[in-house]
A and B are shown apart, each in its own frame.
Chain A
Amino acid sequence: MSGNFTKEQICVVIGASHAGVNFAFSLRKEGWQGEIILFDKDPMLPYHRPPLSKAYLTSEDGIEKNLLKSAESYKNESINLNLGVWVSTINREDKTVVLSDGGVQKYDKLVIATGARPMIPPIPGIDTADHLYPLRTAEDVENIRNAFNASLNKRVVVIGGGYIGLETAASIKKLGGTVTVLEREKRVLERVTTPKMSGFFEQLHAINGVDVLTNKNVVSINTDKGSNTIICEDGDTFEADIIVVGVGVKVNMELAKEAGLNIENGILVDETACTNDKDIYAIGDCTFHHNPHYKRYIRLESVQNAVDQAKVAAAAICEKNPVYDSIPWFWSDQYDVKLQMVGLSEGYNDVLIREEEGENTKFSIWYFKDDILLAVDGINNAKAYVLGTKFIKDGKKIDKSKLTDASVPFKPANLLME
């Protein structure tokens, strides 16, 4: 720890979710002596978001079971957590932030961990629809659960067939509703995966009684006496008591932009998560950052990225010269199926599928650019996921014919080229 840092220094963090909270604890671990002050709009103690659309939606649990850290942990580490308060302006000149309650907080180092918010598409009638919710916060889940319990017909329409939309559909089905997913593209998960994977999930939902309909572009919503009619471009209509909107996010980067920080598809940061102001860092969903492994700038919406960038920023502020060079990973749980992904598949020109012998819900998809492994998606296949992680890291050549031969045991020694 450099002598430059003292007890008098203040590190302010905007946003206390995966990125902000992990950052605060990492900063202490790295030896920061000064104050650490977190602000978040959300009044609840910071919690894990992934379960919101999965197990949490169907459980009776309160959010206490899903906390990122216990209330005592913040006290023990002298992390000053301010909930229900948001930052409305960053003044870089006098190094302060202005708060929603009118307060002003000085900082020496500032970390922006503002994440993203659900996008609400400009569909006529969407503002006046009844029981229409996004799914990003614990409060959203609370609203969905309450509306569901109070609803007689329990007809739920999910707009958007991405991960959050599909997970929500699976969870609500488990609660016993009638669930329809409307996806504008010609297949679900179109932006993020291959036709094989999209097909697998479409079938999985069909088997479980969820109607997943593609090529359904919602153009308006009519609401009358608590009942919504959703109208699609092709003229099809759907009745819904509850509508969940899961069509993607908008990055919370307005604060950064107004403060004159460099912005692209997110807040632009370097390999230490630093912005173009040397005293301001940005981490998590809100950042547009360089991934050295894939040699390009990306924005990621994942716990992995939030946590890893948090560690990097904490180390950088404590002058330890870290570099962000993680290989992205992600998971999704729907029904009893577990998807685990590692790497970034964009730019692939060869896809191989390995099906495990005698099991039709256990397979993996391997994305290559020529001979270079870019990414692996495993369905109920943690082994493929860990092997993929290792192979991508090591960059060794894989014997593609052995990879697709399910009789060859899944071991590094069997799959690498001599």
Chain B
Amino acid sequence: MFQDSSLSGHSTGDYVKINIGPSHPAMHGTLRVVAWTDGETVIKADPEIGYLHRGVEKMGESLTYHQFIPLTDRLNYCSAICNNVAYEIAVEKLLGIEIPEKAQLIRIIMMELARIADHQVCVGILGVDLGAFTPFFYLIIQREEIYEIFEWYNGARLTNTFGRIGGVEADLPDDFEQRWKELRPNLLKAIDETDKLLTHNRIWMDRTIGVTAFSPEDALNWGFTGPCLRACGVKRDLRKDEPYYMYDKFAFEIPVGRHGDVFDRYMVRMREMEESIKIIDQAYKMYKELPPDAPLMAKVPKVIKPPEGEVYRAIESPNGELGFFIKSDGSDKPYRIKIRPPCYMVYQAFPEMVKGEMIADLIACLSSLNVIAGELDR
């Protein structure tokens, strides 16, 4: 028990300071929260980050534009492909080039697969953190199959280094259709099974509905993007609002929640997986209509030396708006790279979200935000 003047105004005046993390099963390895609690109620929480700060932005200043692509894998390692594309699209904007249609479609297909894999991890881990272990196993089996597609396309399971500046390096192999046909029903089945296990489960509903609800005004003020913002009821998705590639040609829904609580975040992610499957179907149909010898790369010089200038380009990654700001000084190395990680903005509102909640809900909230330390600390 101790007393702190910054916490005055509360009735009892006695608080317990609890340190959670960085080595704690619910803190995903590198997060740390210091919570001041009165009984089980959290009075104040102070997240500390930086335990995985690896200096990626500083490293980017001494690497060439191509050499930086592998480092973007290690930002949000749950969906490395989305990071690769976000960086490449920013460099392509800096160079002022448009990539061929076929490359766009391959990128879309792979990105949506990565989005499904990311949401699967998030939902699975949310279940594990709340004590529901089974959905994690159901989801991870299908996730392995997605990884097999990645591995078979570009040789790596997790850190894919997908794409090149100006396009993609290879066409989809011939048996993609076969693989996707096998995977598609299994994916839907895994989502359905998770749905059955969790969504109408009494314990799950009690643990998630109404927990750490957040209003849309607050969410926008704090800079929320992605599923956490959509759970608050704001219909905002960069795939629709600032369409890049051919996203404006696909028919898909943007699922939104109403209360911004843990349950809505979970539901938004579950529905988004289904929407991603729809996008892949349509993208593959369009891909098949293209001639087999359509170009995969735009004309890009071997040594990339963009003109002096600054650009910012963002895409909708599984967690929200993932943007890259690149400042070029005319040399073959970027002068400054700034990554705008989506969960960084979401996580900074964490103290506000958990204030007055129970300490067990703190764990549920953190898990539903899907904070990935790699992109949080960079």
Q: Is this pair of chains taken from one and the same complex? A: no
Interface residues of A (CB under 8 A from B): none
